[in-house]
Amino acid sequence: MAVLKPRSRHLWFAWLLVVAVLSAAPPAKISPEYAYKAGLLSKLDQFVEWPARAFRDAQSPLVIGVLGEDPFDSYLDELVLGEKIGERSIIVRRFRQGDDVADCHILFISRSEAGQFEKIISALAGHSVLTVGEDDGFEHAGGIVRFAVEGGKIRLRINPDAAKAADLTISSKLLRLATLVTKEKG
Amino acid sequence: MPSTRKFSAPALTALLISAAALQAQSLGPLPTPSALKMMSVEQLMDIEVTSVSKRPEKLSEVASAIQVITADEIRRSGATSIPEALRLASNLEVAQIDSRQWAISARGFNNVFADKMLVLIDGRSVYTPLYAGVYWDVQDTMLEDLDRIEVISGPGATQWGANAVNGVINITTKSAKDTQGSLVTTGVGSQLRSTAAARYGGELAPGVFYRVYAKYFDRGDSVRPNGNKSNDSWRVGQVGFRVDWDRTSADQITLQGDGYDGTEGQVGPDTIRANGANLLGRWTRQLAENSDLKVQLYYDRTHRRIPGSFTQNIDTYDLDFQHHRPLGAAHDLVWGLGYRLVNDGVVNTPTNAFLPPRVKHQWFSGFLQDEIALARDQLHLTVGTKVERNDYTGFELQPSARLAWRPDKTQTVWSALSRAVRTPSRIDRDLFSPATPPYRISGGKNVVSETLLAAELGYRVQIEPSLALSLATFYNSYDNLRSLEPLSPPLAFPVVASSGLYGHSRGAEFSADWRVSPRWKLHAGWNELRVSSEPQTGTIDRSTRDSIARDPNHQVFLRSSLNLSTRWDFDSDLRYIAPIGNQNLPGYTEADLRFGWRPSAPWELSLDAQNLLHAHHPEFNSPGSRREIQRGVYGKATWRF
């Protein structure tokens, strides 16, 4: 700051003080990859129709669940804050292994739950939960949407049979952007 | 039940951050939640989120002093024009001369016509071959449609060609696919007296997207040092379109064009009239994962009538071809060919004349660049050259060698040696004053290309995902810089334009980006610059060496982007620009503030204050011709539907 005149120095100091007071949150521990994945996760509801019975009433919120270690920091919460679908607000809830996740509408299953997928997914049979995962084979294990990273970019892999079994309708707009995985393909 | 969110249309169309160039460096900056909200699913899927095993396609963009200004940063800066947005790049000198003129350059030799910076808008050069420099008053578009601005300080001549001596400013707009739906924006204020713009984007046929836009603004006067208005208020209207056709996943075709018309005040009763139009077509084809072809053709017309000075009409036709392919495992080749034809017609006045008034010039160019992996993922050498032929000086060679060492995925050490040239323009060869003999000032038939030899050394580090630092240092040695030499010394006049100066510059550009939290981002920039020039042996220069380089020795920038909530943004920046000694221009500190509010998804309201700290302050020129820039406050409303 040696190049600054005293008056300027005061200005810099005042400016720093103002911005410092306005925010005192701790640094984010999140990589860009998970920031963008959070972005995608928060937008999936725009492309999915749930059956009426998946909600108690027209006002009850849409629940995005995160099962296991949360890789999104506060991003997911910030992304859905204030967003509405009709009269529904969107809320984020976090779960640990063994919790009842059947009330979620979208469930992100963290990598920390690897090996438990089939168990988690079979427990959701009969519930309209859009399951989202990241690991290889997630969509083959009955998961509906997988965020795969290919060529450095996020790619969607969708298992339409699993979506149908959960009574979910995924819009063609999203399906067009995804690679569809069916049983025949293995 | 249907669950289409009401805001999905704007979300699909809206602003995005696309720091692809930086993303390629394995760990890009963290996007803010509000930026993510604005992105469509397609856009989210188009970002490189992890380092790719293949080498980044444009190594030069990473292993060089590049700064990327994203659409989100432009929106949040409150910039009302492209020159104002360029203040976001701390590796540039940006000085507002008066209400409508700007001096913008990297690495020194800044001037009213900063002739060592190449500026491209969607691949179209806007460097004027008449005057050598950029008429910033007519370089505009819907700011909401800008995708990003890359600012490269340092020579980019091997790839970009002549006049990319001190740097390249590469402005790109979004694909029409990403600007679907309607947008209307309007603002009123004290300096930006009024502005209105509208854009509509739709789909002509499956996969064929288009947008059309129209905008208008009216800007107020700058003032003289005593506070009196200087009669340079101005207004411009502009319309344009862009069509993007993803013919197949590998073929993309773009057709775009703009037209504008403006009137601008100047000293004296008559106003300047400036208008123009351009049309550009581009076809890119992905041949394989690492291989692509690009063909681009454009036409550009500019007209400017400066009462009492001259009237110009310039027609430019430009054809470019580029092919990129790997060769074996270790080589990545890019080569290209270019042709440009310029028809330049001037209507002279008694005061001064371009002689001959009408000229036709052609440029031919070719370049070849090879990026060689010396040690996979760790050490890359890029060598290449551009060969260019122009009608003034014949063949010009602009080679460069660039070495990048990445000891790990978070650090890059790079170094480069380059040669670049500024080829003569009509202002060097053809400008006479007065219009008939005896001339006091004559065009120099012997003016040759200015040459630069540049050495650069830089370091980039991502200390953690939230903190990135960059340092670039350089030493530039120039020869044959433009001079004005007396024909019969010791008489001061007549003078003739010549190439009689040496120049040297050295400096350092430091920048830091810190995401303090998901809601708060800080940017800091610090530039040090020393420029000098002296006559070559046996040369008596009258161009007043003071006038070819008007640069501050230091510049410091601080910017804060804070999301007070998901609906409220607060942005502030401070800049300190040191005195410009040879212009007796004092240093100054200025601040901009912006409050943005999104009461509901389609609406955004903002209150912006520009140059808040002084009623008026000067940024350029010596006291006699100096104009001062007034504080500006404006409010703006944007509606997307």
HEC string of B554-604 equals EEEEEEEEEECCCCEEEEEEEEEECCEHHHCECCEEEEEEEEEECCCCCEE
- Is residue A161 included in any domain, yes or no? yes
Report how many domains make up chain A. 1
Q: Closest approach of chain A CAs to the CA of B325, in angstroms?
A: 17
In this prediction, residue A74 carries a pLDDT of 81
Residues whose CB falls within 8 Å of the CB of residue B164, separated by 6 or more in sequence, listed in order: B117, B118, B155, B156, B157, B420
User: Interface pTM (ipTM) of the complex?
Assistant: 0.79
For residue B428, what is the DSSP state? H
- φ/ψ of residue B175, rounded to 5: -65, 145
In this prediction, residue B544 carries a pLDDT of 60
- How far is A148 from A135, CA to CA, in rounded Å? 8
The CA distances from residue B477 to A127, A168, B166, B307, B453, in Å, are 71, 67, 11, 39, 5
Residues of chain A contacting B563 with CB distance shorter than 8 Å: 78
- Average pLDDT over chain B, rounded to whole? 87
Retrieve residue A17's tokens.
């003080």
- How far is A146 from B121, CA to CA, in rounded Å? 38
- How far is B454 from B529, CA to CA, in rounded Å? 14
Beta strands B411-422; B394-408: pairing state: antiparallel
- Is residue A11 included in any domain, yes or no? no
Quickly tell me which residue has 């009763």 as its tokens. B269
Please name the amino acid found at residue B127.
Y
Q: Specify whether the CB–CB gap between B36 and A39 falls below 8 A.
A: yes
In this prediction, residue B59 carries a pLDDT of 34
Per the rule left: phi > 0, alpha: psi between -120 and 50, beta: everything else, B108 is left
Retrieve residue B159's tokens.
């790839």
- Is residue A19 included in any domain, yes or no? no
pLDDT at A5 over 60: no
Residues whose CB falls within 8 Å of the CB of residue A47, separated by 6 or more in sequence, listed in order: A170, A171, A173, A174, B41
Q: Specify whether the CB–CB gap between B134 and B268 falls below 8 A.
A: no
Question: Which domain, by its residues, includes A91?
Answer: 29-185
- Is residue A13 included in any domain, yes or no? no
Other Cβ atoms less than 10 A from the Cβ of A119: the count is 11
CA B365 and chain centroid, separation: 22
**Taking the domains of chain B in order of start, what are their residue ranges?**
8-640
Give the model confidence (pLDDT) of B44-60 as tens digits: 887 766 533 223 333 33
- How far is B264 from B406, CA to CA, in rounded Å? 50
Q: Closest approach of chain B CAs to the CA of A152, in angstroms?
A: 5
Compare all CA atoms of chain B with the CA of A78 and give the residue at the minimum distance. B33
- How far is A83 from A85, CA to CA, in rounded Å? 7
pLDDT at B549 over 90: no
Give the model confidence (pLDDT) of B334-380 as tens digits: 999 999 999 999 999 888 899 999 999 999 999 999 989 898 778 98
Which H/E stretch holds residue B631? none
Through-space distance between the first and last CA atoms of chain A, rounded to whole angstroms: 64
The minimal CB distance from A46 to the residues B1, B4, B45 is found for B4
Residues whose CB falls within 8 Å of the CB of residue B394, separated by 6 or more in sequence, listed in order: none
In this prediction, residue A17 carries a pLDDT of 61
The CATH number linked to A127 is 3.40.50.2300
Other Cβ atoms less than 10 A from the Cβ of B562: the count is 21
User: What pLDDT band is residue B74 in, cutting at 50, 70 and 90?
Assistant: very high
Compare all CA atoms of chain A with the CA of B575 and give the residue at the minimum distance. A12
Give the model confidence (pLDDT) of A139-162 as tens digits: 888 899 999 887 678 889 999 999
Other Cβ atoms less than 10 A from the Cβ of B440: the count is 12
- Residue of B439, B434, B444 lying closest to B349 (CA atoms): B434
Give the model confidence (pLDDT) of B260-302 as tens digits: 999 998 876 689 999 999 999 999 988 876 788 999 999 999 9
Q: Closest approach of chain A CAs to the CA of B486, in angstroms?
A: 39
- How far is A107 from A101, CA to CA, in rounded Å? 8
Q: Are the beta carbons of A31 and B27 separated by less than 8 Å?
A: yes
Q: Are the beta carbons of B517 and A55 separated by less than 8 Å?
A: no
- Fold for domain B8-640? Maltoporin; Chain A (2.40.170)
- How far is B130 from B115, CA to CA, in rounded Å? 11
Beta-bridge partners for B614: none
The minimal CB distance from A25 to the residues B3, B50, B519 is found for B519
- Is residue A7 included in any domain, yes or no? no
